Structures are given as C-alpha cells and as structure tokens.
Structure 1
C-alpha cells in the first residue's frame, strides 16, 4: 500500500476538525495548529478529531507534505506563508464580508481570492479546493469510490502535479475529484459563483469550471 502523505491543517474550527476526521479515517497522519489564543487545543482536538496531532505552526510547516489553510479569510495574514516554500498548500478559505468585513484591497483586486493568497508566497504550490461545500456536508456527503451519487469537488491551481496530489486526497476522503485547471478558474468556486454550495456530479462541476462557463455565468 502506498504511504499516504502527512497532512497539516491550519485552523481548528469546524472546517478544520471535520477535515481532520475524514483524513484520519482515510489513513493519513494529520497535524493541526490553531489560533495562538486558543486554549486547551489538545483537549479539544482529542475530543472532536481523535487521531489528529496538535503541533506548533513551525512544526506543521516543516513536517506536512500538504498543508490545508482553513482559517477565517480575514485571518489569512496570520498564517506563516513564508514557511511554505515547495509545499502543496490548499486554500480552503472563503471571503465572507458579513464575517470578515469588507476588505478594501480584496474588493479592489481583480484576481480571485486564491490568486491573492498565492502571491503571499510564490514559492508555495497553491491550489484551491475544499471551500465550496459546507463543513456539515463534508462527512454527510462522503461516499465510497464508485458510488453513483458521489459528490464532486474541484481542484484548481497552476501546478498540475500539485492538483493531482490534492485530487488523490479528495478521492480518499470520499468525493470525486475534478481537475479544474488554472488557479484563475477558482472564481467559479467562490461564494456567489456557479459551483459554490451546489451538489454536483463530476461532469456538471467540470462544465462550470471551463472559461466559457465563466463568461456565461
């Protein structure tokens, strides 16, 4: 059996812990780091995501092959992006003005939010995924491979090998991965756009991730 990569998760909220449970169940070693202000994190993770290991951010960045960033979007600058050289980084965040407030520089930037995050460390291999379904759906909608009603999740990014590795994780946790191509195609996965929050098959999701579909949406 091929050894599964070590996965690190920044964010011990509902998204991060739901992903941790799925990843542990699929046989991955999972490291998790929370807010510096979060107390008793070991106890919390031991209860809600047993099997995941709480570590400091520096250790997570050093040990994890794939890093999932699942903090509130407004907290993205607090993540140690400079430590992510050569790491595959999954942007699982969404910009929610009701939660994050209106961030003027984000609103004025023509790039997708993931392209903006990728610029925080151009040496990281950033992909966008895991953001376009709710945390409460992650475990409820997970199904074995081959299930006819299996839900699809997209992976977009400018590094094809990084997309492929994240796609393997998507499959392992119970979803059909869809390669959506370049990072700019992640616009379709953002709140208010065609694929966000919708239960779609692989074919339906792939159709929404084409540039032509973006123009028509």
Structure 2
C-alpha cells in the first residue's frame, strides 16, 4: 500500500521501518523538514518528504504526532480524498498536550480527533509502549505474540488498520467502534500491558472509564520519578510491569 506517515517520534519511526520493510511504499514527514529525519528511520526503504508530499497520492495516512498537534495538521488534510484511510496513534497526556476541555469533560479521545479532522479515523498502535513496539513484533502464530486493539467506524478503515497492525508483527483485535476506543486509552487495562489475543478482550471489557485519568496520571508520576524527565520512554520491562500493576 501507499502510506504517508506524519511524525517520526518513538512510534512513528518504528512504523516507518516496519511497514516499508514489509513491502509498503512509505513516505515519512515531520514538522522540521525531510533533511532532519535520521537515516535509521529510512533504513528499510521509507522516503523522507515534506508533510504536504506525505499527504499526496497515498491510500493511508498515519498520524503519529502528539494529540495537541492534531488541529495543526487538520487544514492540510482538508482536501484529502474521503476514501483515504486515516489512522491515529495518539493519546491524551495533559502534561504534554495542555488541558483539552472537551476530553476533560469526558469526550473520547478518538472522537475529539474526528471533530478536529472532520473525517473518520482508525485508532491503532496507541496502546503499546514504544520499546515493546520496536522489539517484540513476531511472526503470526508465535505463542508470545502481542495483540493490539483496532477501533474504527467504517468497515474498510477497520480492515486496513487491522492488516497493517499484523504487518508490523502483532495480532490485531477488532475493538469495535470509536465510541468504545476509550477502552484502549491510557489508564485502561489494555494500555501498554502487552497482552495476547486470548487475554485482550477480557481486559478491554474490564475497563472502567471514570478511573482512567487517575490511573494514567499515577503512572506518569511514577515514570517521571523513575526516568527523571517527561520525555524519556521507559524500557518494555519497566513500562509493562508498571502498567500491569496500576491498570489491571
């Protein structure tokens, strides 16, 4: 497939490497220009381009940027064909994104993104830590294969999102419509806990929406105390153990 990825942070750079490595035609862009994209992001064949170029002549757009930057990208996507599949990997962290009143009042993060972009999206790859995502993809049928939830409202979007999740080395689980995607937000039992396909449905069902923000903020506080700042991502070992302790 022809894929444009906006953002080459912790998740975006792994998406670029994995998807281009499995034969997809991948273009990647960031806010600072193609010359600033590091060589390791392009090692398996992805092409560094401008944001405008990443949005042209593609079947799929993956937004791997902080949630607060979604409104910035919206005008650039206004003329994107309606059939283009848009996948959002973001999560709401008030310490980074600032206070977003609609989400604080209870709006589901994915539906806030839909409002900003004025188009359907898929929610995928938001529920795995960057170290696990980079290191733990395995072949289909592997006994230790991690499963990731994929939420969408359009059937075509869901199928594409699930196929691409599989292409990155993980089982894909149909998590239903975007209205249910709060079950894969930070603070939920399925968030960054590296579950198998057999475990994931139960943990999605156990989520309690009102408890998510408190659990999310507690995990952030522990990580900041451990890592010393808000930008360093934890190792898979520490991050998964912490998430399982607090969220499950």
TM-score category, normalised to shorter length: 0.7 to 0.9
Residue 43 of structure 1 deviates from its aligned partner by 5.2
SS in 2 for 1:68: strand
Q: Which residue of 1 aligns with 2:228?
A: none
Q: Which residue of 2 aligns with 1:20?
A: 16
**TM-score, with length taken from structure 2:** 0.77
Q: Which residue of 1 aligns with 2:41?
A: 48
Q: Which residue of 1 aligns with 2:158?
A: 163
Aligned residue pairs, count: 206
Q: Which residue of 2 aligns with 1:75?
A: 69
Rounded Cα–Cα distance in structure 1 between residues aligned with 2:171 and 2:23 = 18
Higher helix content, 1 or 2 = 2
State the superposition RMSD in angstroms.
Answer: 1.9
**TM-score, with length taken from structure 1:** 0.87
Q: Which residue of 2 aligns with 1:192?
A: 187
Give matches, 1:42-121, under 5 Å. Answer: 42=35, 44-50=37-43, 51-79=45-73, 80-84=76-80, 85-108=82-105, 110-121=106-117
* Structure 2 unaligned blocks of 5 or more: 212-248
Rounded Cα–Cα distance in structure 1 between residues aligned with 2:40 and 2:182 = 35
Structure 1's 141 and 47: CA in aligned 2 closer, same or farther, altered over 3 A? closer
SS in 1 for 2:38: helix
Residue 72 of structure 1 deviates from its aligned partner by 1.0
Residue 214 of structure 1 deviates from its aligned partner by 4.0
Q: Which residue of 2 aligns with 1:177?
A: 172
SS in 2 for 1:12: coil
Rounded Cα–Cα distance in structure 2 between residues aligned with 1:206 and 1:81 = 33
* Structure 1 unaligned blocks of 5 or more: none
Cα deviation code 1:188-213 (max 9, x no counterpart) = 11111121111111122123334xx4
Rounded Cα–Cα distance in structure 2 between residues aligned with 1:44 and 1:115 = 30
Structure 1's 131 and 149: CA in aligned 2 closer, same or farther, altered over 3 A? same
- The answer (yes or no) to whether the contact 1:69–1:90 under 8 Å persists in 2 is yes
Cα deviation code 1:37-79 (max 9, x no counterpart) = x25x335333433221122223222222111111111111111
